[in-house]
C-alpha cells in the first residue's frame, strides 16, 4: 500500500515545533481526518483554542472519490481534508503536521508528545486517529486498493452496477457482503478460498440467488496496463472480474487511548475503545470520535460523531469556567 499523504493542493502545514507548547490549549485533537476536523471546526468557532495534530494519512486516501456524502458525492477524500484544513484555520484553529507518540494525563489536563519531540498540553483531549485496513496477503491486491479493489458496498457498490463483481470473502460472516452486492449485478462471483470451505447450505443459497461460488484459492491479482483484470487461481486459470470487494481486517490506531488506559469493548471488528453516546471514553476529559469510536463509521457518521462530541466538550468547558467563577465569587465572601 502506498504511503501518499495529502494532495499537493493542500496548504502548507506549520512544522511541528516547540511553538505548540507555548500555551495550555482548550482542546488538543489527535488526528485531522473527517472526524478530527469536524470537531476542530465546531470548537474553534466556539472560540476555543484548538490544536490539531495530524499525521495526514486519512484511511480513504487510496480512493479517488468518496460516495454517500451529501453534497460531496464523488468528491476526492483528500480534497475534503484540504477544505477542512482551510476552514478550521480560517477560524483560528491551529493544525500541525505531526504524529503523536505519547499521550498522558497531567494535573490540569493532558500532555501529548509528538514523534519529533514537541510537547503540547490541553484541558481536554479528543482522539480522532481512526483505523487502517490490513488487506489479505494476496500479491497485487494492495496495488489496486481504493480503485479496483474496495471493501464497502455503501461506498462503491453503486459504481459496480452491472459489472463483473468478485467478492473475496475472508469469513463465513463475510458472505453477507456477497448477498448485499447481488443487488448491484447479476454477475457476482464469490471467492471462498481464503475461508477454506463454507457450509453447503450457504453455498446453495448463494447459487440460488444467481451467484457463482469459486472455491479455488486465489493466488494473485492480474493487472493489464495498470488496471485490474482478474484473479489468478491455484490451478493456473484466471477468473475475469471488473471490481473486487475484499474483506480487510480493520486495525484501530488507538495507541494514545491505550496509553491513557481507556476501556475497550468487544466489537465484530475486534476490541475497540468504549465510548458513550457523546463520545466520552472511560477516562474523564478524553473523547474518541470517528473510526476511533466506531469502526463502522463512514465519513458522514465520523463527522457527525465528532460534531456531537465537540458540542459536549464545549459545554463541559463552559461549565468548568462557570464553576471556577462561582468558586472565586464564594472566596470573595459575597453574600447570597
Interacting residues toward ligand FAD by CB under 6 A: 30-36, 53-60, 62-63, 66-69, 99-100, 128-130, 133, 146, 150, 152, 155, 253, 290-291, 297-299, 302
Decide whether 206 or 228 has the Cβ nearer to ligand FAD.
228
Q: How many CB atoms lie within 10 A of CB 130?
A: 27
| Lookup: cell for 82 | 484540504
Q: What is residue 222's three-state secondary structure?
A: strand
Partners of residue 270 on adjacent β-strands? 267
Q: Tell the smallest beta-carbon distance from residue 63 to ligand FAD (Å).
A: 4
Q: Tell the smallest beta-carbon distance from residue 335 to ligand FAD (Å).
A: 50
Partners of residue 240 on adjacent β-strands? 230
Partners of residue 220 on adjacent β-strands? 232
Those residues whose C-beta lies under 8 Å from the C-beta of residue 336, and which sit 6 or more positions away, are none
Burial of 15 (C-beta count, 10 Å sphere; 0-12/13-18/19+) = exposed
Decide whether 1 or 217 has the Cβ nearer to ligand FAD.
1
Q: How far apart are the first and last CA of the chain?
A: 66
Decide whether 109 or 295 has the Cβ nearer to ligand FAD.
295
Q: Tell the smallest beta-carbon distance from residue 255 to ligand FAD (Å).
A: 6
CB 66 within 8 A of CB 60: yes
The conformation of residue 69, written as its DSSP 8-state character, comes to -
Those residues whose C-beta lies under 8 Å from the C-beta of residue 217, and which sit 6 or more positions away, are 193, 194, 233, 234
Decide whether 99 or 182 has the Cβ nearer to ligand FAD.
99
Give the span between the Cα atoms of 61 and 78, in whole angstroms. Answer: 6
Q: Tell the smallest beta-carbon distance from residue 212 to ligand FAD (Å).
A: 25
Decide whether 150 or 221 has the Cβ nearer to ligand FAD.
150
CB 202 within 8 A of CB 176: no
Q: Tell the smallest beta-carbon distance from residue 322 to ligand FAD (Å).
A: 31
Q: Tell the smallest beta-carbon distance from residue 160 to ligand FAD (Å).
A: 12
Decide whether 67 or 177 has the Cβ nearer to ligand FAD.
67
Burial of 25 (C-beta count, 10 Å sphere; 0-12/13-18/19+) = buried
Q: Tell the smallest beta-carbon distance from residue 199 to ligand FAD (Å).
A: 29
Decide whether 1 or 172 has the Cβ nearer to ligand FAD.
1
Q: Tell the smallest beta-carbon distance from residue 273 to ligand FAD (Å).
A: 12
Q: Tell the smallest beta-carbon distance from residue 283 to ligand FAD (Å).
A: 16
Decide whether 103 or 213 has the Cβ nearer to ligand FAD.
103
Decide whether 63 or 198 has the Cβ nearer to ligand FAD.
63
Rg of the chain's alpha carbons, rounded to an integer? Answer: 23
Q: What is residue 284's three-state secondary structure?
A: coil
The conformation of residue 93, written as its DSSP 8-state character, comes to -
Amino acid at each position: 500500500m502506498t504511503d501518499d499523504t495529502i494532495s499537493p493542493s493542500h496548504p502548507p502545514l506549520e512544522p511541528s515545533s516547540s511553538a505548540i507548547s507555548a500555551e495550555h490549549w482548550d482542546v488538543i485533537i489527535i488526528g485531522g481526518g473527517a472526524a478530527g476536523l469536524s470537531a476542530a471546526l465546531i470548537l474553534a468557532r466556539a472560540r476555543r483554542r484548538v490544536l490539531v495534530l495530524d499525521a495526514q494519512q486519512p484511511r480513504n486516501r487510496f480512493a479517488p472519490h468518496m460516495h454517500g456524502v451529501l453534497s460531496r458525492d464523488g468528491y476526492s477524500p483528500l480534497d475534503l481534508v484540504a477544505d477542512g484544513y482551510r476552514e478550521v484555520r480560517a477560524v483560528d484553529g491551529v493544525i500541525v503536521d505531526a504524529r503523536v507518540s505519547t499521550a498522558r494525563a497531567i494535573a490540569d489536563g493532558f500532555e501529548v508528545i509528538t514523534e519529533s519531540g514537541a510537547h503540547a498540553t490541553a484541558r481536554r483531549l479528543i482522539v480522532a486517529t481512526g483505523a487502517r485496513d490490513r488487506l489479505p496477503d494476496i500479491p497485487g491486491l494492495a496495488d489496486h486498493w481504493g480503485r479496483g479493489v474496495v471493501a464497502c458496498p455503501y461506498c462503491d457498490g453503486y459504481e459496480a452496477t452491472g459489472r463483473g463483481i468478485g467478492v473475496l470473502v475472508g469469513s463465513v460472516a463475510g458472505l453477507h457482503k456477497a448477498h448485499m452486492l447481488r443487488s448491484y449485478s447479476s454477475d457476482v462471483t464469490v471467492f471462498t478460498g481464503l475461508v477454506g470451505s463454507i457450509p453447503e447450505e450457504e453455498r446453495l443459497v448463494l447459487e440460488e440467488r444467481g451467484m457463482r461460488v469459486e472455491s479455488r484459492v486465489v493466488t494473485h491479482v492480474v493487472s493489464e496496463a495498470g488496471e485490474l483484470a482478474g484473479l489468478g487461481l491455484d490451478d493456473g486459470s484466471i477468473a475475469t472480474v471488473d471490481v473486487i470487494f475484499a474483506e480487510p481486517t480493520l486495525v484501530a490506531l488507538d495507541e494514545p487511548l491505550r496509553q491513557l488506559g481507556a476501556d475497550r469493548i468487544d466489537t465484530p471488528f475486534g476490541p475497540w475503545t468504549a465510548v458513550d453516546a457523546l463520545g466520552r471514553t472511560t477516562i474523564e476529559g478524553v473523547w474518541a470520535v470517528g473510526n476511533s469510536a466506531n469502526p463502522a463509521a463512514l465519513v458522514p457518521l465520523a463527522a457527525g460523531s465528532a460534531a456531537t462530541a465537540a458540542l459536549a466538550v464545549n459545554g463541559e468547558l463552559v461549565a468548568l469556567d462557570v464553576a471556577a467563577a462561582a468558586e472565586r465569587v464564594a472566596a470573595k465572601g459575597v453574600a447570597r
